[in-house]
């Protein structure tokens, strides 16, 4: 449930979005509002003075009143210039706030737990972010361009009315304010929350539309566009009826406000004329009082809109700050704790690894560890415990690892997995769909939080910061992430240095994509569309694979990373990966349904129902009864 923030809390949070210089501008805006409110009263006073002079003298000429007219003109011009200055300051402050707010919200969402995105529709998150940002910025503008000017001008008009009219009459005149305010608050009470409810309903529809657009091919294949259109039409009609009830109520209350204004306008004119006829006030004072009265009714007419929008913007601003308060994913929360430890100083540049890696000359057979067991007796340098420096040791150890998604804690995906993967090992992982293969690599890359213990290079995974992991681990998923930018920028994505084009070309050659890129319009500067949809699936994967040849990670995880490639491209890339493994000592974990991809692995683990049920080389597993042989023969998918 969303936390309800007070006005002061909301403004304190908004101020935090601005640098100190921008915060000081709020004081300047308040000063400008005060000056503008005073200047706005000079016109009614000047008109009253001029009227009394015209009526009081018989030989009045235009030249005699020209100075007063010039004063009125000058005051209005100066006041308008001040308003322009105020608007520019407010707009500058608002855009500064929006810039900082957008960046903070983006970082907060990008660092949110993965479970957050499993429980919220992407379109809904996007719509919610845009609306909350708009509401937060609009709150600043509403305060300093609508609400505060209306209040200061109204206060100045009230002071002028009390100075010009007898106190009892002035009190009667300003009764328009409490009566009008009562109508406004009654209007707000009856329509409370309707705008927010409509907003949330539209956000839900946004989420539905984005969901449908992501499945456009399936919808077209099944010819369900018309059915989905009818579903949206039904929801839209319900929304329309609710919105019309709101508009009818608004029209009724707007009519009441008009009647209130009309009644008091007649009262002001009648009382002023009566007092003028009795010589209590002058005729000029009648005009001054009426002009000041219109400065009261103008803001009062807009009061509901201002307060209603203000209330909505408060909700939206609260929603925005709730986005900022999304707890960071556990992998980021641990970063600060590890910043002073061994993880912070990890050097994971593969170029520092001696050619051949630490596993050279040793049999690369991973060993399964019972929970709580020691490393003694393990093959492949098992007697040498990892050093904690991934530049020297990229071994991976899992001890009694269990995993279940936070949303379903009782349904374990991984069950007491114990495993040791030596440095420089090429480990394959196979098994039927849903057996836990992808979950296994997610917990190794600290994408999901698991029970038990995981160490990389002898360092506990919980002590490794996200930054340290990014320097050491590369994960290539089946559907790679591509951005709407150039091919060059996509291959360099995630690099923390400027990469020469020659390096990018070399990496692309190894990924067997360079020739394809050279044929594109603009070559390396060819602009990819959203998600790289102007390329084929195989080209997506090869661009993602080019990234790993550029990064030369110490640990490489491939999750069906070559599933869209033809056999020739797969063999060429597989050879390059094996070459990188030998030269840089890279530890490779490869998940594949196409078992031929795993033929050259040092060892293959076969998983089923969250457990390791078989292990061995490709030939050993193919010759043994079990899941692997069934998959190889096409019996089990």
Question: What pLDDT score was predicted for residue 370?
Answer: 38
Encoded tokens for 2: 């969303």
Phi-psi region of 553 (alpha: psi -120 to 50; beta: other; left: phi over 0): beta
Alpha helices, DSSP H, located in 57-147: 62-110, 114-118, 122-142
- Given a contact cutoff of 8 angstroms between Cβ atoms, the answer to whether 580 and 549 are in contact is yes
Rounded to an integer, the average pLDDT of 581-591 is 91
Rounded to an integer, the average pLDDT of 9-23 is 82
Question: What pLDDT score was predicted for residue 334?
Answer: 53
Higher pLDDT, 353 or 175: 175
- Given a contact cutoff of 8 angstroms between Cβ atoms, the answer to whether 422 and 380 are in contact is yes
Question: What pLDDT score was predicted for residue 390?
Answer: 54
pLDDT digits (tens, 9 = 90+) for 259-304: 988 888 888 888 888 888 888 888 888 888 888 888 888 877 777 6
- Given a contact cutoff of 8 angstroms between Cβ atoms, the answer to whether 306 and 146 are in contact is yes
What's the pTM? 0.73
Q: 295: which residues sit within 8 A by CB, 6+ positions away?
A: 40, 44, 153, 154, 156, 157
Q: What angle do CA 147, 149, 155 make, to 5 degrees?
A: 100
Q: Where residue 378 falls among pLDDT bands split at 50, 70, 90?
A: very low
Phi/psi of residue 132, nearest 5 degrees:
-70, -35
Rounded to an integer, the average pLDDT of 134-162 is 89
Q: 141: which residues sit within 8 A by CB, 6+ positions away?
A: 90, 91, 94
pLDDT digits (tens, 9 = 90+) for 553-564: 999 999 988 888
Question: What pLDDT score was predicted for residue 72?
Answer: 87
**Is residue 364 over pLDDT 60?**
no
Question: What pLDDT score was predicted for residue 347?
Answer: 41
Mean pLDDT over all residues of the chain?
Answer: 82
Higher pLDDT, 130 or 302: 130
Higher pLDDT, 8 or 135: 135
Rounded to an integer, the average pLDDT of 232-239 is 85
pLDDT digits (tens, 9 = 90+) for 331-360: 887 544 433 333 333 444 433 333 333 333
Q: In whole angstroms, what is the distance from residue 418 CA to residue 436 CA?
A: 14
Q: For the chain, what percent of residues have pLDDT higher than 70? A: 88
Question: What pLDDT score was predicted for residue 60?
Answer: 67
**Is residue 121 over pLDDT 70?**
yes
DSSP for residue 486: B
Question: What pLDDT score was predicted for residue 527?
Answer: 92
| Residue ranges of domains in the chain, CATH in brackets | 7-328 (1.20.1560.10), 343-632 (3.40.50.300)
Rounded to an integer, the average pLDDT of 107-136 is 85
Encoded tokens for 397: 């150890």
């Amino acid at each position: 449930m969303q936390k309800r923030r007070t006005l002061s809390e909301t403004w304190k949070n908004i101020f935090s979005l601005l640098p100190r210089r921008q915060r000081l501008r709020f004081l300047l805006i308040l000063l400008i509002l005060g000056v503008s409110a005073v200047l706005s009263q000079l016109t009614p006073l000047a008109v009253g003075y001029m009227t009394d002079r015209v009526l009081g003298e018989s030989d009045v000429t235009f030249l005699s009143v020209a100075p007063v007219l010039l004063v009125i003109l000058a005051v209005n011009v100066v006041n308008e210039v001040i308003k322009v200055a105020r608007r520019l300051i407010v707009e500058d402050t608002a855009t500064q706030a929006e810039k900082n707010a957008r960046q903070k919200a983006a970082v907060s969402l990008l660092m949110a737990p993965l479970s957050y995105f499993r429980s919220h529709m992407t379109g809904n998150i996007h719509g919610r972010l845009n609306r909350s940002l708009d509401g937060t910025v609009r709150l600043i503008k509403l305060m300093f361009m609508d609400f505060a000017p209306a209040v200061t001008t109204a206060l100045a008009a009230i002071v002028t009315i009390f100075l010009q009219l007898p106190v009892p009459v002035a009190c009667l005149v300003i009764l328009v304010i409490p009566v009008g305010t009562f109508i406004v608050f009654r209007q707000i009470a009856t329509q409370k929350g309707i705008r927010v409810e409509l907003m949330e309903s539209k956000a839900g529809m946004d989420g539905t539309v984005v969901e449908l657009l992501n499945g456009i091919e399936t919808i077209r294949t099944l010819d369900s566009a018309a059915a989905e259109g009818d579903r949206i039409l039904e929801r839209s009609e319900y929304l329309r009826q609710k919105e019309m009830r709101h508009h009818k109520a608004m029209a009724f209350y707007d009519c009441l406000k008009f009647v209130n204004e009309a009644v008091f306008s007649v009262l002001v004119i009648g009382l002023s004329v009566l007092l003028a006829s009795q010589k209590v006030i002058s005729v000029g004072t009648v005009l001054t009082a009426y002009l000041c009265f219109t400065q009261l009714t103008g803001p009062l007419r807009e009061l509901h809109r201002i307060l209603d929008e203000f209330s909505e913007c408060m909700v939206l601003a609260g929603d925005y700050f709730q986005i900022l308060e999304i707890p960071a994913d556990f992998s980021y929360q641990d970063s600060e704790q590890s910043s002073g430890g061994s993880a912070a100083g990890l050097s994971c540049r593969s170029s520092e690894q001696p050619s051949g890696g630490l596993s050279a000359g040793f049999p690369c057979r991973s060993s399964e560890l019972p929970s709580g067991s020691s490393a003694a007796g393990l093959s492949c340098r098992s007697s040498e415990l990892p050093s904690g420096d991934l530049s020297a040791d990229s071994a991976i150890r899992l001890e009694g690892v269990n995993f279940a998604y936070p949303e379903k804690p009782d349904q374990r995906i991984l069950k007491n997995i114990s495993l040791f993967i030596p440095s420089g090992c090429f480990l394959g992982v196979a098994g039927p769909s849903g057996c836990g293969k992808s979950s296994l690599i997610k917990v190794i890359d600290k994408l999901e939080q698991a029970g038990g213990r995981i160490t990389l290079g002898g360092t506990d995974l919980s002590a490794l910061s996200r930054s340290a992991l990014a320097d050491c681990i590369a994960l290539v998923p089946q559907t790679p992430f591509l951005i709407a930018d150039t091919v060059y920028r996509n291959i360099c994505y995630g690099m923390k240095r400027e990469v020469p084009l020659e390096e990018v070309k070399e990496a692309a050659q190894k990924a067997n994509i360079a020739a394809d890129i050279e044929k594109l319009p603009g070559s390396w500067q060819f602009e990819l569309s959203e998600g790289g949809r102007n390329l084929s699936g195989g080209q997506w994967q090869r661009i993602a694979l080019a990234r790993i040849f550029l990064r030369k990670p110490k640990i490489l995880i491939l999750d069906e990373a070559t599933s869209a490639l033809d056999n020739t491209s797969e063999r060429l890339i597989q050879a390059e990966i094996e070459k990188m493994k030998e030269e840089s000592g890279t530890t490779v974990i490869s998940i594949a349904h196409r078992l031929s991809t795993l033929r050259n692995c040092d060892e293959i683990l076969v998983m089923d129902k969250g457990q390791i049920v078989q292990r061995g080389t490709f030939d050993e597993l193919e010759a043994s009864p079990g899941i692997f042989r069934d998959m190889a023969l096409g019996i089990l998918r």
